[in-house]
Structure 1
Amino acid sequence: MQKVKFKNRNWDTVANLHLPDNFDETQNYPAIVCVHPGGSVKEQTAGLYAGKLAQKGFIALAYDASFQGESGGDPRYFEDPTSRVEDIRYAVDYLTTLNFVDRNHIGLLGICAGGGYAANAALKERRIKAVATISGVNIGRAFREANFLETLEAVSTQRSAEASGAEPMITNWTPNSSEEAKQAGISDLDMLGAINYYRTPRGEFPTSNNKLLFASMANLTMFDAFHLAEFLLTQPLLIIVGDKVGSFGSYRDGFDLYKKAASKNKKIHIVNGSGHYDLYDKPEATAEALDKLVPFFQENILQK
C-alpha cells in the first residue's frame, strides 16, 4: 500500500493506493475506486475491501472524502453530496494518470452512503465501467424521513447565526457509546451497529471522529442518489445487502436501486444472517461479499 495525494479543486485528497501482490509497474492493471461511508475514513471498511481486492489483482484506491480525514477542504466535517460525487471523479482522474492503470478498466465500489454516491457518480462518469454497492444507502432518502422540515428550519437559523459570527455548529453522526444511546432511548439495530463499529476498538480510527457540520444536513436532505438512474445508470451493477434490516434502509434502498437502474446487467445478492455493519468487517459476511465482488469486477471491467 502507498499513501498518495492528488489534486481535488484547490486542495489535496489523501488516499491509500492498494497494490496487487508481486506488483510490476511496467504492467497494466484494472483499478477500482473504493468509496467510504458517511463519517468514515479510508482506513476503515473501504480500506478493508480495497486491500482484499488488491490481493485479487486489482489496483484499489481508498481515499478520504473532501473536508474529512486527512484530505483538505473547508469547512471541516462538511458532508456534501455534490462534493462526495465529485471526489469520485477526481479519484478516477488520478487513476488515469498512472502508467500502470488501464484507464479503460476502472470500476467503482461504494459502502453505505458511499454506495449511493457511487451510483450517482456513475450516472455521468462514463469512465466507470462497473458499479458495486455494499449496504448502499440513498442518504438523502434517510434524512428526509427524519423531520426534514424542522431540520431545514434549524439549518437556516444556524447559518444566519454563523454569518453574524457564531462558531460553526458541529454535531455527531452517532451517540458516542452504546450506553449513551440507551440513555437516549435508542435501540435500533443499525444505530447500535454503527456505534459498535465506529466508537469501539473494532473499527475506530483517529481521523474518523464522529463529527458532522450541522449545516450539512440541508445538503443531505435535498440529495437523491438515484435520481435519473432509470435513464443513466447503464453500467453493470452489483448490489450486496444483508437481510437483518435496521432503520438506515440499505436493504430497501438496495432493491430500490436494483429496480430503478437502467443497467441490463444487474444483480442483487442478499447475505443471509447479516446486518448493515456485518458487511463492513465481519469475516464471514465480507468473505461472501468478496466472493461476488471479485468475479463481478473480473467479468465487467477486464472485458471492457
Structure 2
Amino acid sequence: MNIKKVTFKSFGVDLVGDLYLPQGFDENKKYKAIVGASPFPQVKEQVLATYGPEMADRGFVFLGFDYLGMGDSPALPGEFKQSRYMFRLLENTWDAVSYLGTLPFVEEIYGLGVCQGGSIIASASVTDHRIKKIATVSGMMAADAFQWADKAMANQLIAAANASKQAIYETGEPDYVAPFGLDDEQSREEHIAAVGSPMAGESYDYYGRDGIKGPKTVENYTNMHIGDQAMQSLISIGEAYADKIVQPSLIIYSKTAFTAICSTAFIEKLTNEHKVIALEEFGHVDFYHKPEAVKISADAVAEFFNK
C-alpha cells in the first residue's frame, strides 16, 4: 500500500494526514479523490485506516487526517488536545478539500463519512460544491431523534458540558471526561454493566482497553475527551440542512442497527438525487472493521463515485 504522510493548513496550524494512493500510482495521471471523515472521537489510524486502503485498492486517492486537536494534529495555541468541536470539523474538512484541490493528479473530489463523519461530510457539502458526491456509512446525519429522545438525559449532558466549559475557562486547564462512559482501563464486563447501552458490547470490542482499535492498539488514541464537547455535538447541522444538499448522495446503513434512525430521518429530508443501501445483518460498529460490512460499503461507494 502506497501511503504518503502529508500536512495541510487549517486554522493556521498544520493538520496531519495520510494520503492513500492507488497501486501503480502515476503523478502524471488524473485520479478521483476522496476526503474521509471519521467517527467521534477517532483518529486517522482507526476507521480511516480501514477505508483508505480499500478505496485506494479501488483506484481512488483517499485522504484520512486528524482533525484539529486530535491524534497527530495540534490544538490551537492556548487550547487543549482531544477537543473535537463540530463547527471546526467542517472548516477542517473544507481545508482538506482545498488541499486536495492543489494536487495536480486530482480531478474530482468526493466525500466519505462514517458515523459522525457522515454528519460532517453532509454538513460540509451543503456549501462546498467542490465536493461532487457524498457517501455516508452507518452515518449520524440526523441525530436529533437519537440524541434528544430523552430530553432529561440530553439536558444532563448539557449541564455537565456547561460546567466543564466554565471550569476550563476559569482554571486554564483541560477537563477530560469519558463521553460514552468508557475509559481506557475498563474491562468489557465493567463497561457493559456501567452503561447498559444496546451498543455497549460492540463499542467496547472496537474502542475498549482490549478492543481491536482501542488505546492499547492505536498509540494516538484515548477514550477520554474534552468535557465541553457536547455543547456542539448535540446540534445536528446535517439534519437541518438535508434539503439543501445538491450533490448526489449514497447512504449505507443497517436497518437493525441501534442508530438506523440517524440515516432514515436524514433520507426522508433529502430532495437531491440519492441512493440508499439498507442492509439487515450488521450493527453500527460492524461497518468500522468487519470485513464483510467494509467490503459491501467500499464496493458500493466505488461504484457510486465512478458513475
Scaled by the length of structure 1, what TM-score is found?
Answer: 0.90
Structure 1 portions without partners, runs of 5+: 300-304
- Once the 2 structures are TM-superposed, how far is the Cα of residue 172 of structure 1 from its aligned partner? 1.4
Is the aligned partner of 1:274 residue 2:286? no
1:302 aligns with: none
Q: Does 2:254 correspond to 1:242?
A: yes
2:306 to 274, 298, 301: 298
Hey, what's the Cα distance between the residues in 2 that align with 1:139 and 1:193? Answer: 21
Partners of 1:35 and 1:62 within 8 A in 2 = yes
Counterparts of residues 1-20 of structure 1 (less than 5 Å):
1-20=3-22
Structure 1 runs of 4+ with >3 Å offset? 142-146
Q: Does 1:157 align with 2:163?
A: yes
Alpha-carbon distance in 2 for matches of 1:290, 1:158: 39
Q: Aligned match of 1:89 in 91, 94, 113? A: 94
Q: Give the corresponding residue for 2:192.
A: 182
Instruction: Identify the residue that residue 134 of structure 2 maps to in structure 1.
Output: 131
Work out the CA distance in 2 between the residues paired with 1:40 and 1:159.
Answer: 22
- 1:218 is aligned, of 206, 228, 231, to 231
SS in 2 for 1:244: coil
Q: d(CA) in 1 for partners of 2:88 and 2:195?
A: 34
| Shift, 1:95, TM fit | 0.3
CA contact under 8 A between 1:143 and 1:220: conserved in structure 2? Answer: no
Task: Measure the CA separation in 1 of the matches of 2:128 and 2:115.
Answer: 20
Q: 2:119 is matched with which residue?
A: 116
The one of 253, 257, 263 aligned to 2:262: 253
Shift of 1:201: 4.5
Kept after mapping to 2: 8 A contact 1:31/1:59: yes
The percentage of aligned residue pairs carrying the same residue is 29
Q: 120, 128, 144: which is aligned to 2:148?
A: 144
The question of whether the paired residues in 2 share the 8 Å contact of 1:17 and 1:61 is answered with yes
* Alpha-carbon separation, structure 1, partners of 2:167 and 2:192: 32
Does the 8 Å contact 2:113/2:121 carry over to 1? yes
* Distance change in 2, residues 1:258/1:101 (3 Å): same
**Cα distance, 1:70–1:236 mapped onto 2, change above 3 Å:** same
Partner of residue 202, structure 1: 212
Alpha-carbon distance, 1:80 to partner: 0.9
CA deviation vs aligned residue, 1:19-51 (integer Å, no higher than 9, x gap): 000000111111001111111111111221121
Unmatched tracts of structure 2, length 5 or more? none
State the number of aligned residues.
Answer: 291
- The match for 2:240 is 227
Over the aligned positions, Cα root-mean-square deviation in angstroms equals 1.7
* Residue type of the alignment partner of 2:193: Q
